[in-house]
């Protein structure tokens, strides 16, 4: 079931198929994601959630055995035809399940990508670093130690630093792959508040193994199982007593998965 929202889609996926050698991981997915939407993706392990995210910004190409077909369009442009894959990956930021801090200072972690893109002057970098750290709800905790190693932060702080680093690209879309897998519930709730605010400015795609998290955050949720869309609808419908598919009811209530 594919549900539409008002306005043109930010991302259009049509008949997306992915295989790793002879193993098919995604089986003809078609759906849209709209601007400023928090789009949730749920499903059991090996359902294709992470593979789907990697197709969006073409990091799937790092896997030699991967074969992709179908169409992914962002703002109307086919991602396979973009002039620069690096520009695409700046446009679609990615946050991994476990925080991976660069062995640099907190400041340099956030400034790394802008510097690579040619931004060098402190007058430009300083406000950008502050803005990204504020957006990630980390500024007040680190503003007095910006030149300390980012890897010395707590796990939750490092995950928020990872979000700040992803935001330093000034992406249009932010993809998060089970960001709360290794952090405590209090920090998880803080990051969830951050994501609600960020959706006012950018589009958020949230892969989560916590169905309650999708229920709290997502405007719409897609349930993937075995590489196929079981159901896609407004989150309140998907988590209702009568979703469109009985398998959805069983999964969101923990009867399998």
pLDDT digits (tens, 9 = 90+) for 161-204: 999 999 998 999 999 999 888 788 888 888 899 899 899 999 99
The answer to whether residue 3 scores a pLDDT higher than 50 is no
pLDDT value for 2: 41
d(CA 167, CA 91): 10
pLDDT value for 121: 92
* Beta carbons of 19 and 25 less than 8 angstroms apart: yes
Largest alpha-carbon pair distance within the chain? 57
Which position has the higher pLDDT, 116 or 48? 48
d(CA 90, CA 75): 14
Domain definitions of the chain by residue range? 9-252
- Percent of the chain with pLDDT strictly greater than 70: 97
The answer to whether residue 219 scores a pLDDT higher than 80 is yes
pLDDT in tens, 10-54: 999 999 999 999 999 999 999 999 999 999 999 999 999 999 999
d(CA 174, CA 94): 6
The answer to whether residue 119 scores a pLDDT higher than 90 is no
> What value, to the nearest 5°, has the Cα angle with vertex 178 and ends 174 and 182?
125
Q: pTM score, two decimals?
A: 0.90
| Mean pLDDT value of segment 206-224 | 95
pLDDT value for 6: 57
Within the chain, residue ranges assigned H as helices are 49-56, 85-91, 106-116, 122-135, 139-142, 155-167, 185-198, 211-217, 235-238, 246-252
CATH T-level fold of 9-252: Rossmann fold (3.40.50)
Q: Tell how many helices (H) and how many strands (E) occur in the chain.
A: 10, 10
The sign one gets for the Cα dihedral 89, 223, 137, 98 is negative
pLDDT value for 257: 64
């Amino acid at each position: 079931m594919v549900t539409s929202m008002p306005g043109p889609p930010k991302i259009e996926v049509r008949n997306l198929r992915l295989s790793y050698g002879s193993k098919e991981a995604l089986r003809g997915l078609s759906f849209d994601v709209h601007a400023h939407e928090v789009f949730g993706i749920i499903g059991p392990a090996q359902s294709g959630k992470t593979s789907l995210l990697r197709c969006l910004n073409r990091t799937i190409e790092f896997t030699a055995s991967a074969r992709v077909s179908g169409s992914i369009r962002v703002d109307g442009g086919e991602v396979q035809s973009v002039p620069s894959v690096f520009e695409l990956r700046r446009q679609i930021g990615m946050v991994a399940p476990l925080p991976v801090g660069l062995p640099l200072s907190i400041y340099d972690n956030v400034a790394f990508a802008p510097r690579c893109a040619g931004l060098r002057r402190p007058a430009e970098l300083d406000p950008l670093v502050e803005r990204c750290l504020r957006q990630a709800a980390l500024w007040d905790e680190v503003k007095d130690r910006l030149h300390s190693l980012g890897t010395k932060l707590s796990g939750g702080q490092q995950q928020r630093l990872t979000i700040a680093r992803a935001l330093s690209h000034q992406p249009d879309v932010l993809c998060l792959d089970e960001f709360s897998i290794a952090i405590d519930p209090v920090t998880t709730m803080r990051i969830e508040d951050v994501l609600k605010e960020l959706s006012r400015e950018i589009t958020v795609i949230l892969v989560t193994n916590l169905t309650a998290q999708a229920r709290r955050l997502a405007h719409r949720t897609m349930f993937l199982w075995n590489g196929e869309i079981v159901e896609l609808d407004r989150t309140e419908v998907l988590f209702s007593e009568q979703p469109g598919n009985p398998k959805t009811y069983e999964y969101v209530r923990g009867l399998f998965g």
